[in-house]
Amino acid sequence: MSNHYVGVGFSSHADSFSAGKEAALQAIEKLDRSAKVLIVLGAMRFDHRELLAGISSVTGDLPMVGGTTAGEISTNGFSTGSVVIMAFGNDDLEFVTGIGHNMSADEAACSIEMVRDILNKVPLPSNASLLIFPNGMGGDGHKVLDGLQSVLGKDFEITGGYLGDDERFESTYQYYNGMVYKDAIAGLMVIGNNRFRTGIGVRSGFTSIGNSFMCTSSEGNVVKEFEHTNALELYKDFLGEERAARLPAVCLEYPFGIIDNTTTGNSDHLFQLRCGLSVDHDKGTISLAASIPEGSEVTLTTASRGDIINGAREAAEQAMQSLEGATPLAVIMFSCVGRKLVLGRRIQEEVDAVRNCIGLDVPLAGFYTYGEIGPVDKTNRQLSSVKFHNETVVLWVLGKA
């Protein structure tokens, strides 16, 4: 069912100002009311100040959050070298933005600054959902969540994606209220009422390949030992000589899964994935996108391209289930760049799996990320606390009851 609460615009125009203007016009024209806030997702190729100036030439000083990506997603499908804008025009919802600075110096302090910036504008709401867009090269993703939860509590609904830079893995840009930032976290609090619900889906399609082992030594996002053994050597043993020769790239295909022992049930879904970013052959360590705490039980995981696409479909089904019958109005999709690289030419099938489940006419915006944020299962109290993920798709769906 189409709606006029949300509009999505897209442009791949070569000129940055023109691309921003074109995408903004498309998004705004699809609304039947004034826009309240924008989510802006852009490729690294743009002159980012010019891109945002083009948007602001249409939208004025309208609040916005977002940043650069490792690939854009819209109702049109997957794209690169483009800008995607989602405009919200709902008068029944309140949208409040905030920003934190210097993420790489102190991830937790940066996330706390962002939340307090929001809470300086509005009292802590009971019926709200926080979307965050952190610097994808800013450090330990787990510490960002520690900061957020120290202010909001363990049960507050948080989703988001770590911004990308088209797989350069150097630096990312954050967009906030018409300005371009580096090393920041931009956030959007969506405050609703009983007429609106949010659905969240978090799935990967990856499954354990067998034995589990303990992390016995780690520092920050660097793992030193598994089972009191050199971490890299143990990983190589699991991979075998042929696969190990492709380190660190092979880490995308065989991420670690932190096993969640707080509950029992479908064990394939009860872990948070951690993907290796680099290895130090001299020290025998593995650097990850977020920490594996000492004492964690870990397993090695893998997935075929079909499994990854099926994981996206399962995430969409989970999001629809958690909407509890509400009609979907908009979808924001955060999918890991690792999934993109493994899927290759089949990448569009992941987006199609989501759209076919939630609705082909439901406005969609999203991007390929350097890390994903969301609860393992919003509907299960034991699993509803937000986690950091790699190799995972996280869907945030706004629904009307």
pLDDT in tens, 263-297: 545 444 578 899 988 899 999 999 998 889 999 99
In the numeric block, the tokens 């029992």 are attached to 264
Mean pLDDT for the chain? 93
- Closest-CA residue to 84 (of 57, 64, 99): 64
Which residues lie across from 387 on neighbouring strands? Answer: 374
Which residues lie across from 329 on neighbouring strands? Answer: none
Q: Please tell me the predicted confidence (pLDDT) of residue 326.
A: 95
Q: d(Cα 286, Cα 199) in Å, to the nearest integer?
A: 35
Q: 25 by DSSP, 3-state: which?
A: helix
Rounded to 5°, the CA angle 14-38-389 comes to 90
- The amino acid at residue 331 is V
How long is the chain?
401
Q: 295 by DSSP, 3-state: which?
A: coil
Q: What is the CA radius of gyration of the chain?
A: 20
Task: Give 184: exposed, middle or buried? Use CB within 10 Å, 0-12, 13-18, 19+.
Answer: buried
Q: Are 108 and 142 in contact (CB under 8 A)?
A: no
- Distance, CA of 71 to chain centre: 12
pLDDT-derived band at 383 (thresholds 50, 70, 90) equals confident
Q: Which of 11-15, 101-105, 377-381 has the lowest mean pLDDT?
A: 377-381
State which H helix or E strand residue 310 sits in: helix 305-322
**Phi-psi region for residue 283, left (φ > 0), alpha (ψ -120 to 50) or beta?**
alpha
* Six token digits for residue 2: 């189409």
Q: Please tell me the predicted confidence (pLDDT) of residue 140.
A: 85
pLDDT over 90 at 39, yes or no: yes
Q: Please tell me the predicted confidence (pLDDT) of residue 262.
A: 65
In the numeric block, the tokens 């999203």 are attached to 366
Task: Give 13: exposed, middle or buried? Use CB within 10 Å, 0-12, 13-18, 19+.
Answer: middle
pLDDT over 90 at 91, yes or no: no
* Six token digits for residue 209: 């390949």
Q: Please tell me the predicted confidence (pLDDT) of residue 267.
A: 43
Rounded to 5°, the CA angle 202-205-207 comes to 115
pLDDT-derived band at 88 (thresholds 50, 70, 90) equals very high
Q: d(Cα 12, Cα 299) in Å, to the nearest integer?
A: 41
Q: Please tell me the predicted confidence (pLDDT) of residue 263.
A: 52
Strands 158-161 and 372-375: antiparallel
Mean pLDDT of the 81-102 span: 96
Mean pLDDT of the 71-82 span: 97
Q: d(Cα 18, Cα 26) in Å, to the nearest integer?
A: 12
CA distances from 52 to 42, 178, 214, 302 (A): 10, 6, 47, 39
- The amino acid at residue 290 is A
Q: Please tell me the predicted confidence (pLDDT) of residue 90.
A: 84
* Cβ contacts of 264 within 8 Å, gap of 6 or more: none
Task: Give 65: exposed, middle or buried? Use CB within 10 Å, 0-12, 13-18, 19+.
Answer: buried
Mean pLDDT of the 101-117 span: 97
